[in-house]
Chains A and B, each alone.
Chain A
Amino acid sequence: GAGVSQSPSNKVTEKGKDVELRCDPISGHTALYWYRQRLGQGLEFLIYFQGNSAPDKSGLPSDRFSAERTGESVSTLTIQRTQQEDSAVYLCASSLGGLAGATEQYFGPGTRLTVT
């Protein structure tokens, strides 16, 4: 079946502009996660959605970052007033849900964001 999809695959934007990244999880997966991977570094957790529960936003680096999810489907990650330090690959993952640590996460191909 279809895996996690993300769009766009690449995004180049000017410093100060807003960007919106999209994630389509695997159908039936109630949990959705966003991570960031800067060049040469490991993955950093950003935010987690589980069903209709309040999202875990503890990984968001600043108030310029926000994310939404419509029910158990699409999620969008928005970065306002982008800075060069926001340049990274943004990865989305989904899982069957329940306790997040208990189920396998499946990752999308990522969106490579470059802020010039």
Chain B
Amino acid sequence: KQEVTQIPAALSVPEGENLVLNCSFTDSAIYNLQWFRQDPGKGLTSLLLIQSSQREQTSGRLNASLDKSSGRSTLYIAASQPGDSATYLCAVGETSGSRLTFGEGTQLTVNP
């Protein structure tokens, strides 16, 4: 059974700092990995999707990497802003199933 773990559970940083969120998964047989942000009381917003054949994806100040063999992904946020404050979720799309398996998220607070 696939298990996804995110570290740290919570992170508080001053504005302008670069930061890294970590995600690990137990079964490397994945089709893709997706990073989402979730704002309080709202649904999920897709940030980046990395296919299993890819090593990284970039969108603006965000960069996500994938090391499938070691079962790890990182989300790098450059020059953080208060508007980046949210919960960040990592999810893997499995080869054999139809579901996304989610980690429990990292709650990020960027202080002005």
Contact = CB atoms under 8 A, between A and B. Distances in A.
Chain B interface helix/strand/loop/mixed: strand
Interface in A84-106: 91, 93, 99-102, 104-106
Interface residues of A, number: 27
B46 A42 contact: no
Interface residues of B, number: 29
B36 A107 contact: yes
A91 B43 contact: yes
A98 B5 CA distance: 27
Contacts of B34: 104-105
Contact of A100 (B44, B51, B97): B97
A104 B49 contact: yes
Contact of A42 (B43, B94, B103): B103
Interface of A: 4, 31, 33, 35, 41-43, 45, 48, 50, 56, 58-59, 91, 93, 99-102, 104-110, 112
Interface of B: 4, 30-32, 34, 36, 41-46, 49, 51, 89, 91-95, 97-105
